[in-house]
């Protein structure tokens, strides 16, 4: 974290060193989802990085562009209008700067939406704009299919049967899916100071996987599994980026590791990102899949349900190691 003698006011949001050209990670694994070798490539990327980029994913450019343009239109509204879209359906709705309930702050505003099957939950009144809601529903339906294909490819690459052993957890009635639209406004007060405001602090995602897309403004950083070095991910508005979540780490008994990531803001450009979180039903048992345990191999984790893990996660700060309390004593 950067400490300045006379820091500009950014609402008590932590400052980070601004990334330079040397920080960009040129070795991001790229998976062609239409390729016969996609399953093996995904497993390799999950084992090495817990993160990869997906191309040839089949989502129409128009679907992505409509969601982005409508989201930009929403965030361009007067603050009073956006505040009216606040969490009337807690914790869902519009929010600004505060992330969660435990003191985390970021230089962003966002929409957090509950997803029922393949669209925004009927019980979630936000967004009220038909154009935005329709655009997001079209996008959610498309990106959910990408998530399903990725989870099926993971099962294939790991030799798990049936083929939908993982994707069925998301397809089931009552699956706990969440969709987030983040807007990171520029922070010109920090221009030229060599530091940037934290947009979204370091964390791992608790679900199975999360699927992210952003506009052309970079800002996403991941921590490499080997050594924890923070590297910047080059932006690609035509691709999706997939994060391994804590639940998939447990299901693979640590063979995959959930990736720690964060967002650093830009002093001059806005960043808009869309994240689909693929979670199972609350009652879903989360434990290593028996097919992935070798002879005599024991689970590294205590057994729990997704609902129990989610409840525990909500009590923690972003950067906390949520899984630590579920690791078996050695």
Q: What is the pLDDT of residues 187-225, one digit of tens each?
A: 998 989 999 999 999 999 999 999 999 999 999 999 999
Distances (CA, A) of 48 to 44, 143, 152, 257, 258: 6, 24, 19, 8, 11
Bridge partners, 174 (sequence order): none
Q: How many residues does the chain have?
A: 330
- Give the relative orientation of helices 38-48 and 130-158 as an angle to the nearest 10 degrees: 90
Predicted pLDDT at 91? 83
Tokens of 208: 């199975």
For residue 179, how far is the Cα from the chain centroid? 9
Residue 3 lies in a domain: no
% of the chain residues with pLDDT over 90: 87
For residue 90, name the pLDDT band (cuts at 50, 70, 90).
low
What digits encode the pLDDT tens for the residues 162-175? 999 999 999 999 99
If you average pLDDT over residues 15-25, what whole number do you get? 94
Residue 167 lies in a domain: yes
Say which CATH number the domain at 186 has. Answer: 2.60.120.330
Mean pLDDT in the chain?
94
Residue 31 lies in a domain: yes
Residue 130 lies in a domain: yes
Q: Please tell me what DSSP assigns to residue 233.
A: P
What digits encode the pLDDT tens for the residues 275-312? 999 999 999 999 999 999 999 999 999 999 999 999 99
Q: Beta strand pairing status for 240-244 and 285-286?
A: unpaired
Structural domain of 82: 14-326
Residue 224 lies in a domain: yes
How far is residue 274's CA from residue 146's CA, in Å, rounded to a whole number?
Answer: 14
């Amino acid at each position: 974290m950067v400490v300045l003698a006379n820091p500009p006011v950014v609402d008590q949001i932590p400052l980070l060193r601004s990334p330079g050209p040397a920080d960009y990670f040129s070795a991001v694994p790229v998976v062609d989802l239409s390729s016969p070798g996609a399953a093996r490539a995904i497993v390799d990327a999950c084992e090495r990085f817990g993160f990869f980029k997906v191309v040839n994913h089949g989502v129409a450019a128009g679907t992505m562009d409509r969601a982005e343009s409508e989201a930009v239109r929403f965030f361009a509204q007067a603050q009073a209008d956006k505040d009216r879209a606040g969490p009337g359906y807690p914790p869902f709705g519009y929010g600004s700067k505060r992330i969660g309930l435990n003191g985390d702050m970021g230089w962003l505003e966002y929409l957090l939406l509950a997803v029922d099957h393949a669209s925004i939950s009927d019980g979630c009144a936000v967004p009220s704009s038909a154009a935005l809601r329709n655009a997001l529903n079209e996008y959610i339906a498309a990106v959910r299919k990408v998530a399903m294909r990725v989870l099926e490819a993971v099962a294939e690459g790991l030799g798990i049967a049936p083929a939908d052993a993982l994707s069925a957890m998301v397809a089931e009635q009552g699956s706990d899916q969440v969709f987030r639209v983040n807007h990171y406004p520029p922070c010109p007060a920090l221009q030229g100071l060599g530091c940037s405001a934290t947009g979204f602090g370091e964390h791992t995602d608790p679900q199975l996987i999360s699927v992210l897309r952003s506009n052309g403004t970079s800002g996403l950083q991941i921590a490499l599994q080997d050594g924890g070095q923070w590297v910047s991910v080059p932006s690609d508005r035509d691709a999706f980026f997939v994060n391994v979540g804590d639940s998939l780490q447990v299901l693979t008994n640590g063979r995959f590791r959930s990736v720690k990531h964060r967002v650093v803001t830009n002093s001059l450009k806005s960043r808009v990102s869309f994240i689909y979180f693929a979670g199972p039903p609350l009652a879903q048992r989360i434990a290593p899949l028996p097919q992935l345990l070798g002879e005599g191999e024991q689970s590294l984790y205590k057994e729990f349900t997704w609902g129990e893990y989610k409840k525990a996660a909500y009590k923690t700060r972003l950067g906390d190691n949520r899984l630590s309390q579920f690791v078996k004593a050695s």
